[in-house]
A and B are shown apart, each in its own frame.
Chain A
Amino acid sequence: MIRTTPFHARLSELNTQGLYTHWQGYLSALRYTHSPKHEYFAVRNSVGVFDTSPLFKYRIEGPDAERFLAGVLVRDIRTCRPGQAQYTLWCDDRGYVMEDGVVFRHSATEFLLTVARPALGWFCDLAGRLRVSLEDVSDDFGMLAVQGPRSRTVLSALMPEADSLAFFDHAPAQVASAPVTLSRTGYTGDLGFEITVESGHALDVLDAVLEAGQGHGIRPFGEEALMSLRIEAGLPLVDVEWHNSRLAFTDDQRVTPQELGMGWMLRGVEDGDRPFVGRDAIVRELTGTSRWATVGVVVDWAHWDRLHRDAGLLPSKDESPLPYESMLYDAPEGGSQVGFVTSFVYSPVLQRHIGLARLRPGLAAPGSPVHLEIAISHHTTRVAAGTAKLPLFNPARRTARP
């Protein structure tokens, strides 16, 4: 039986399309209107709301909770103060990525972890003798992402806390007399917040947010818009950019944090003394070699247009991502395959076709030429592209101090 989120009753009224996908057993809107691109622009130019409730939510607490998380998560949770959150990964003992998630630290001993796939059993198995309790509280809370340049203006009318939150900070707040956690987090690469609210109050909070957003162009956005947004923002998606190592069949399906483009999470790991699952393998990789680098790819617009025009077609500029991987070569013809694009889309704000790519590390310096295999009129051909630093779209407002 498919489940619905705590916001569904209201959001389904606003959904004129009846188009849903299933996200971990929940109905999740693909789009709310005939135009997912319009929803996309709400996030890039005004404000949009997204129901992110299907995330799994785990409460982790106890005197040893910090020690426990320091031992399983790739980033050092000890540097995360109460009122802050961390985007992090966890690995298996060979240093391959299993999942990613966001940890919200509420106090010295209380944490909430949100994750796209179930992970409780794995964490419980690693708890050992530590004084830590882990509890699945997924059904207790709804989560509403409020994203876009106007998100702060809209939310500060409801919660003064919105005016002072720094990037990845969170604070207790109150909306429509319901207690909530407001965090400066999201999955769009824009200025944005998420509201975590007890399920019973979810509709009241949603109504208040939509009301406050009147006149600011607020609208709900669905997964189609989210995919364009997250690719522009360089945010990886499990089962697209990588597969959980524990569920992979071969090492070709696996990635390390470094290979996933998360090398920035590993600062200090080599010299530090924090043992965590996968650390030894990660250190070996840091002192040795990686198979892949993750980079952005930006297509040569003139070549793209020419290839289509020469084939008698109008050059397509589609903001819906390609549903398959495309291969990268080191030459316009012949040569070798040197990587692949995991996600590919036309970016309306960048006015370019862009991709998230995995490339041989020696060829991945920003500005390096690559050649992307595409199909035009039933023939494969290669379009010129260049590598670029991620994220490809990164407005100052995303991380700016209030």
Chain B
Amino acid sequence: MSSAQTGSTYDAIVVGGGHNGLVNAGYLAKAGLRTLVLEQRHLVGGAAITEEVVPGFSFTTFSYALSLLRPEIIQELDLVEHGFMPLMMPSSFHPTGDGGYLLLGDDHGQNVQEIRRHSPHDADAYDRYHHDLDRVVQAVQPLFDNPPPNVFGKDPEDRADVAWLLDHLGGVERKVMHDVVRLLTGSASDWLEDYFEHEAVKGFHASSSIIGSKVGPMSPGSGMVLLFHKMGEHDGRLGSWAFHKGGNGGFTQVLARSAEANGAEIRLGARVSHVITHEGRAVGVALEDGTEFRAPVVVSALDPRRTFLELVDPRELPADLVDNVERMRFRGVSAKVNFALNALPVFPALPDTVDHYGGFLNIGPTIEYVERAFDAAKYGWYSERPFIDAAIQSVVDPDMAPPGKHVMSCFVQYAPYELRGSDWEAERERFGDRAQSVLESHFPGFGDLVLHREVVTPVDIERLTGLTEGNIFAGEFLAPQMYFFRPAPGWSQYATPIHGYYQCGSGTHPGGCVIGAPGKLASQRVLRDLRS
């Protein structure tokens, strides 16, 4: 490179300041490595950012809530000291589409009565359902918190890892193991049918089975997406979600402060062009402006496509890895429509209360509604009546909006990345109108409250965060893309075929959401390799 300027030399360089990159850098810096984080944008956070789109209104542009974050990361990186503050969501609100609603809260007995109001049959099923899911989570959790064993490896360490896995699975009760398999292979609809009879109760529980994924609740594979979302917790309650103070951007700012306190350096506006290799080893990175930074360890927090096909030369990689990454599915189907509101929407059956707005507003009354919303995506079009997971964080976190005003984040599906016969620039506002008209049907007068509307399409997600095809999980949650296949068979332990080059993004195990585990597990791999 002719105009190469020489930057400094580091022990480790992390490419990408998303939450996993920051977690990874925090652990590496804490272990004493001189660590540099390079972020292309003017702020860290990747897909977990908060932006003041309209003065006084803080939008969670993409990701908007916390649950999957592994609790040990909070402790190990001293995040509380740096401002970690998860605000509980006191309720979940599910309009049933006929003017009624299901409103669940923090009191178990009252939730049972609320379910019973719709279906006496489902009242105790609700307890069994959550108990069975908790048992599944308990069984799967150790797999979440450890790197996947290399089942293709032959050395004693790999054999020991496989033995550990088999030993763990051998200890799981047979009913629980059967439930694990039902969830991993089946549809959310089938799983829910085993417990519930009421359409709204099933619809409520099905909503987490499709998030970020090109599946409907009746598709095989949606069970796994449902299970994944149940793996999270808030203060020990499985499946519970929280708002981070200041939005998920507030959370990634905490991560950045923690990483910096541990000695990491963060450079913004530093878009990496490629990883510099020498004789099969990573030796540094070059920015697009020609600046070079040297380090014997380079960690990519980007998704697998960028990690293997853009940052390095695919010709340096084994053909089967390149082939797998090419074949990996990234079909983004999610969009955001974020609103600044002049006042809270009004749900006619609950005109005088606000507490039903304390958490998620789940606009997908029944499984059939959501499945029909999915249909369009199969044929390259967006839902005319989309599923919406809405959240009005300003209800529990008044710093998000001026007094009395609100910000409403709407996660909208389905919005396939590639549209047949049109494109997202042409369809952006019409899509926003579709989402808004669904809200209007549940909250009459909604449109009059809108001060500002921001439509974030899958193409915007890709353009702004670098996530291929706008896939929010950096690689879809499909069985052949999970655990020891994530991101590719044989390369699920955070290393790559290039010595000193590692991967720590959500495209590695255990994958997407604001979880931090890939960043942490990758740091352990780096530190182990440095010691040996």
Q: Interface of A with B (CB < 8 Å)?
A: 33-38, 41, 44-46, 150, 214-217, 301-302, 305, 312, 314-319, 346, 348-352
| CA gap between A183 and B124 in the complex, in Å | 50
Q: Determine the residue in chain A with the shortest Cβ distance to B84.
A: A351
| CA gap between A349 and B236 in the complex, in Å | 14
Q: Determine the residue in chain B with the shortest Cβ distance to A46.
A: B398
* Interface residue? B422 (CB, 8 A): no
* Interface residue? B497 (CB, 8 A): no
Contacts A302-B72, A348-B88, A351-B84 known; A45 to B107 CB distance under 8 Å? no
Q: Determine the residue in chain B with the shortest Cβ distance to A218.
A: B398
Name the A residues within 8 Å of B398 (CB-CB).
46, 150, 215-217
* Interface residue? B4 (CB, 8 A): no
Q: Could you write out 6 A-B pairs with CB less than 8 Å apart?
A: A33-B90, A214-B403, A215-B405, A305-B72, A317-B235, A350-B80
| CA gap between A217 and B85 in the complex, in Å | 16
Contact, CB under 8 Å: A346 / B80: no
- Against A, the Cβ 8 Å flags (1 = close, 0 = not) of B392-409 are 000111100011110000
Contact, CB under 8 Å: B236 / A33: no
Q: Determine the residue in chain A with the shortest Cβ distance to B86.
A: A348
Contact, CB under 8 Å: A45 / B75: no
Contact, CB under 8 Å: B396 / A346: no
Contact, CB under 8 Å: A315 / B75: no
- Against A, the Cβ 8 Å flags (1 = close, 0 = not) of B89-111 are 01100000000000001110010
Q: Determine the residue in chain A with the shortest Cβ distance to B358.
A: A38
Contacts A215-B403, A217-B396, A217-B398 known; A34 to B90 CB distance under 8 Å? yes
Contacts A316-B236, A346-B235 known; A41 to B88 CB distance under 8 Å? yes
Contact, CB under 8 Å: B236 / A35: no
Name the A residues within 8 Å of B396 (CB-CB).
38, 41, 45-46, 217
Contact, CB under 8 Å: B90 / A35: yes
Name the A residues within 8 Å of B86 (CB-CB).
348
Contact, CB under 8 Å: B403 / A216: yes
Contact, CB under 8 Å: A351 / B87: no
| CA gap between A61 and B7 in the complex, in Å | 74
Q: Which applies to chain A's interface (DSSP): helix, strand, loop or mixed?
A: loop
| CA gap between A215 and B71 in the complex, in Å | 32
Contact, CB under 8 Å: B105 / A214: no
Q: Determine the residue in chain B with the shortest Cβ distance to A149.
A: B399
Q: How far apart are B420's CB and chain A's nearest CB, in angstroms?
A: 45
| CA gap between A319 and B110 in the complex, in Å | 19
Name the B residues within 8 Å of A44 (CB-CB).
85
* Interface residue? B238 (CB, 8 A): yes
Contact, CB under 8 Å: A301 / B235: no
Q: Determine the residue in chain A with the shortest Cβ distance to B134.
A: A314
| CA gap between A216 and B355 in the complex, in Å | 14
* Interface residue? B520 (CB, 8 A): no
* Interface residue? B245 (CB, 8 A): yes
Name the B residues within 8 Å of A349 (CB-CB).
80, 85
Contacts A302-B72, A302-B75, A316-B236 known; A35 to B404 CB distance under 8 Å? no
Contacts A38-B106, A215-B403, A302-B75 known; A45 to B85 CB distance under 8 Å? yes
Q: Which 7 A-B pairs have the closest CB atoms?
A: A215-B403, A317-B236, A215-B404, A35-B106, A38-B90, A34-B107, A34-B105
Which of A215, A317, A349 neighbours the largest number of chain B CB atoms within 10 Å of its CB?
A215
Contacts A217-B396, A351-B80 known; A35 to B403 CB distance under 8 Å? no
| CA gap between A85 and B82 in the complex, in Å | 33
Contact, CB under 8 Å: B403 / A45: no
A301 contacts which of B75, B84, B85, B237 (Cβ < 8 Å)?
A: B75
Contacts A45-B245, A314-B138, A346-B235 known; A35 to B105 CB distance under 8 Å? yes
Known contacts A35-B106, A214-B404, A318-B236; 5 further A-B pairs (Cβ under 8 A): A34-B91, A37-B90, A41-B396, A217-B396, A351-B235
Which of B79, B86, B106, B405 neighbours the largest number of chain A CB atoms within 10 Å of its CB?
B106
Q: How far apart are B194's CB and chain A's nearest CB, in angstroms?
A: 22
Contact, CB under 8 Å: B106 / A314: no
| CA gap between A262 and B408 in the complex, in Å | 47
Contact, CB under 8 Å: A35 / B88: yes
| CA gap between A255 and B403 in the complex, in Å | 47
Name the A residues within 8 Å of B72 (CB-CB).
301-302, 305
Would you list which residues of chain B between 475 and 518 have a CB under 8 Å from chain A?
A: none
